[in-house]
Chains A and B, each alone.
Chain A
Amino acid sequence: MKVVLKLLKNPTSLIGIVLLLTYVIVAILAPAIAPVPQNSRDPYMIPRDGFKTAPGLPSAKHFLGTTEGQYDIFYGIIWGTRTAFRVGIIVTILTLILGLVIGSLAGFYGHWIDELLMRITEIFLAFPFLLAAITLTSVLQAIYGKISAGPLMILTKLLALITFAQGFDQALNPIQMSILTGMMAIIAFGWMTYARVIRSNILSVKEVEYSLAARMVGANDMRILFRHLMPNAVFPVLVMASMDIGSYVLTFAALSFLGLGAQRGYADWGQMISFARNWIPSLAENWHIVVFPGMAIVLFVLAWNLVGDALRDILDPRMRGRGAGL
């Protein structure tokens, strides 16, 4: 508790916490801050005010102006907060789980299981993250045009269940599909560091006496691994993951910017910036189409980094003992 209070007094972590709380509140209150128009089918689709190509400057009607094609920037940013949280948190949790399972099995069982899993990890690490994510997203989107069943589809439906709370029997629309493929690509290439760190942590605790004591109690492998070893090994990885939430959102924004993540008109910050691609020569007049969504992304990433720093301080055992002297 003392440490938490200290952290609140620390200006940088305080800024992070305040920023993040602001985003949370905005996400929760989105329908009140930016009301959904009567005729809207999907609240995440940004309402348009006409079909004129040129972006509109901020005005009384459109606080932050409109983008190319008259999408309302204010509405997009507010509802985009929800997309950012949704994508960021779900991607992080799933990446984390994947990394934890692979890394802890490798560390716990050792031998050829370890060899195999770690070689696979290294193969995945060999690809540059962003390029790999871009490639996999486009490949997946191409594949989905052709298939309707199979393990890949089941995975996607599962992800849809988690992300959009959409039932297994419902068909996926193209908008959801492109978001899900982006998320899957990030997950597929994000887990490796977690796997490595948890593996080495499991290795360092699996030979200690209390794991022998747990065996003596009659616990089976899974119980020993997840109940006895994991709590002693997982915290450094959790801190890493909390800092990575920002960068996953950033990656997803990059995918959207390239037209791969969220589709045109969806309330997603990266997607909104992509409207600016045709207006780069005249950005001096139309600055608002980049600056506002860009600010939203930058501050979001910053908030998670600061909070991650703070979390590390809380969870670092060396800091726990000397709460007062911090």
Chain B
Amino acid sequence: MSDILLSIENLETCFRTPEGTIHAVNGVSMKLEPGETLGIVGESGCGKSVTMLSILGLIPNPPGKVVAGKALYRGQDLLKMKDSEIRHVRCSEIGMVFQDPLTYFNPVLTIGRQVSEPLEVHRSLSHKEALDQTVEMLELVGIPRPKERLNDYPHQFSGGMRQRVMIAMALICSPQILIADEPTTALDVTIQAQIVELVKSLRDRLGMSIIWITHDLSLIAGLAQRMAVMYGGFVIEEAPVEDMYAAPQHPYTLGLLGSLPRLDDVQGRKLVSIEGLPPVLFKKPTSCPFAERCNFRIERCNLENPSLRLVDKCHRVACWVNPETRRENQ
């Protein structure tokens, strides 16, 4: 029990819109151990961000609502917490970094004030102590001349620097978990690599657990120990990173990895793309959400939604198709 830091169980979140109810998350379960890095991948709109915002109570209500599930952080259910309790969890226990660091900073407040705000909210420090810690943190994430930059505004930073500042802000209260929601998507490739390196070194220094959300499978390889693949509001496959790359099981994961160029590609191997579009979830799926686009589809896929089953040590897949058939067709 105690070696699980965060455990999400059967989380379901809906959005009520004029066009109908969108079932964005449909029973997601995942676990995070202390010091572990979990990667989450999946197409746009599959519910990655909504899952994370749900457990932190940040889903705007209305239109959104967490309708079922648990999110146990150290045995306490985050979803049942009072507003003042969950507010204390944010940033001081679980920090979060967002995708586009420009829009997530307030344009009229200086970087210094924004980075030190978590301290102001959660810790009773003197102004000077808070300022010292802020400078220290900015230095740690690699901002040159941090003291002089405290009074600068967000637009005076470059994209990569802004993301560093946002990481500093998320980590300033030394949380146990850092949730990074596509923190590198808006950046160019070299800067992406720098940010990943930075997070790795911070992880080694501060020892927090990380949930890293991304579209970019190649980023996860060097960073995470375990990864989960999401599709249509479900986790459809979960495994240690090596297993996932060596022996992907779910047809969707196969497709994802197949659409990725690899260093050891045999010449002439074609990059394949997955046909079709992700589903819009106006009703809770009763069949496998991926069935429509799946090349291995069998009768049962249209009738029943598979749940996650253990296929190998620590490797879990939600698919009806016989693993043998999948391997042959590959």
Contacts and interface: CB of A to CB of B under 8 A. Distances in A.
Interface string B177-220: 00000000000000000000000000000000000000000000
Interface string B97-110: 01010011111110
Interface string A206-218: 0111101111111
Interface stretch (B40-48, B116-124, B128-136, B280-288): B116-124
Contact of B109 (A207, A218, A220, A228): A228
A126 B56 CA distance: 44
Nearest to A232: B108
B78 interface: no
Contacts of B84: 220
Contacts of A220: 83-84, 87
Contact of A216 (B56, B103, B106, B107): B56
A218 B118 contact: yes
Contacts, number: 60
A223 interface: yes
A231 B104 CA distance: 16
Contacts of B100: 209
B169 interface: yes
A219 interface: yes
Contact of A217 (B83, B108, B118): B118
A220 B88 CA distance: 10
Contacts of A217: 90-91, 117-118, 121, 169
B122 A218 contact: yes
B209 to A, nearest CB: 17
B90 A210 contact: no
A216 B56 CA distance: 8
A227 B105 CA distance: 13
A210 B105 contact: yes
Contact of B103 (A210, A214, A223, A228): A210
19 contacts: A209-B98, A209-B100, A209-B103, A210-B106, A212-B104, A213-B98, A213-B106, A214-B106, A215-B58, A216-B56, A216-B58, A216-B90, A217-B117, A218-B90, A219-B87, A219-B121, A220-B84, A228-B109, A231-B106
A213 B109 CA distance: 13
Given A218-B118, A228-B106, A212 B87 contact: no
Contact of B117 (A208, A209, A219, A231): A219
Nearest to A235: B108
Q: Counting chain A CB atoms within 10 Å of each CB, which of B84, B108, B118 scores highest?
A: B108
B92 interface: yes
B318 interface: no
B96 interface: yes
A208 B107 CA distance: 11
A210 B155 CA distance: 13
Contacts of B60: 207
A208 B108 CA distance: 14
Interface string B284-318: 00000000000000000000000000000000000
Please list the 6 inter-chain residue pairs (A to B) with the smallest Cβ-Cβ separation, ordered nearest first: A209-B103, A218-B90, A213-B104, A210-B106, A231-B108, A209-B104
A223 B108 CA distance: 15
Interface string A62-83: 0000000000000000000000
Interface in B69-115: 83-84, 87-92, 95-96, 98, 100, 103-109
Contacts of A231: 106, 108-109
Q: Counting chain B CB atoms within 10 Å of each CB, which of A209, A213, A215 scores highest?
A: A213
Contacts of B88: 218
B121 A216 contact: no
A232 B91 contact: no
A227 B106 CA distance: 10
Contacts of A228: 106, 109
Contacts of B108: 231-232
Contact of A212 (B58, B91, B95, B169): B58
A68 to B, nearest CB: 54
Given A213-B98, A231-B109, A218 B91 contact: yes
A7 B169 CA distance: 39
Nearest to B58: A215
Nearest to B99: A209
Q: Counting chain A CB atoms within 10 Å of each CB, which of B84, B106, B108, B118 scores highest?
A: B106
A223 B114 CA distance: 12
Given A210-B105, A216-B56, A231-B109, 15 more contacts: A207-B60, A209-B98, A209-B100, A210-B103, A210-B106, A212-B58, A213-B106, A214-B106, A215-B58, A216-B91, A217-B118, A218-B92, A218-B122, A227-B109, A232-B108
